[in-house]
Chains A and B, each alone.
Chain A
């Protein structure tokens, strides 16, 4: 019986090594200039196809107001999916050309947003109310996360300067815009705040300064879960443990949202706009210097 590898060989297709040479993958290669144009073309086509498939606004003369709103909401939801696909392609291809196919697929996030049925049309005044209330809830959540982190830190006997890195990250996340300046949904606010908890978990292993940036990508959900596990192990922080466990579950259900947040934060860290220091020891350590400890923590 032939294996997928055999079938690939029989197909005559070239491997990555054959195309790019034996050193392929050994270092990051910047293909963004070549791929950027193609990404734009594909992304535009997806959005165009989505809008074409929807066609003109249907005549809804026979329907009541509620039904008309529902149909309108469904059309908007489909349009939003097209826009999400477009945004995901451009972001992933241009932003991180070393991402593998799974990351790209996860970034589409197509499974989200449809759970509640039709998307509700929200007027500008109502949106203002929603944004304002959401920002205040962000403040509440920030307090919940910080309280939990503080309890875990104290239980671990860490002599901490108050959460300089994670708290700042979480505070920024709660402000209502993502690290790359986009308006956040409520779900994104939870995820971005949780990344502060992920950074806090990194501090346990002495890798507080995440100068490499990519250290958090693909790991934050497990890191948040690990903080919950540490709290659970103490036996005196059941509530804190469950909150972090629930937060990790939320993140696991929204891989695209998490990936986008991790990527945006990593970019920011890589560009040096944000530095999280190892406040536990006041020293500078990186993922490069202690990769094993980081992997152990996230495992």
Chain B
């Protein structure tokens, strides 16, 4: 996942109630993370976004 995609996902998560401070911190350190950490973070954020959007639709 490149940084612009990361930023887009994070913007959506913040609109859904996520902690902006923490997520902006991840954006700040993203370029310096090892590939494994980047991949784990991407999976985490994508999965969370999918779950939150599903809940929003169901509401």
Contacts and interface: CB of A to CB of B under 8 A. Distances in A.
Interface of A: 112, 115-116, 120-123, 125-127, 129-130, 133-134, 136-137, 140, 143-144, 147, 185-187, 189-190, 238-240, 242-243, 246-247, 249-250, 254
A157 B33 CA distance: 24
6 contacts: A115-B20, A130-B19, A137-B26, A186-B18, A186-B22, A249-B28
A1 to B, nearest CB: 44
| Chain B interface helix/strand/loop/mixed | helix
A144 to B, nearest CB: 6
A144 B39 CA distance: 13
How many B residues touch the partner, as a band?
A: 20 to 34
Contact of B25 (A123, A242, A246): A246
Given A126-B16, A144-B34, A246-B29, 19 more contacts: A115-B20, A120-B15, A120-B16, A122-B17, A130-B17, A133-B45, A133-B51, A134-B19, A134-B22, A137-B44, A140-B37, A140-B40, A140-B44, A185-B19, A185-B22, A186-B22, A187-B25, A239-B32, A246-B32
B59 interface: yes
B41 interface: yes
A186 B55 contact: no
Contacts of A140: 37, 40-41, 44
A243 B29 contact: yes
Contacts of B23: 186
Contacts of A122: 16-17
Contacts of A250: 21, 25, 28
Contacts of B15: 120
Contact of B55 (A121, A125, A147, A238): A125
Contacts of A127: 17
A129 B20 contact: no
Q: Considering residues B16, B17, B22, B59, which has the most beta carbons from chain A within 10 angstroms of its beta carbon?
A: B22
B48 A190 contact: no
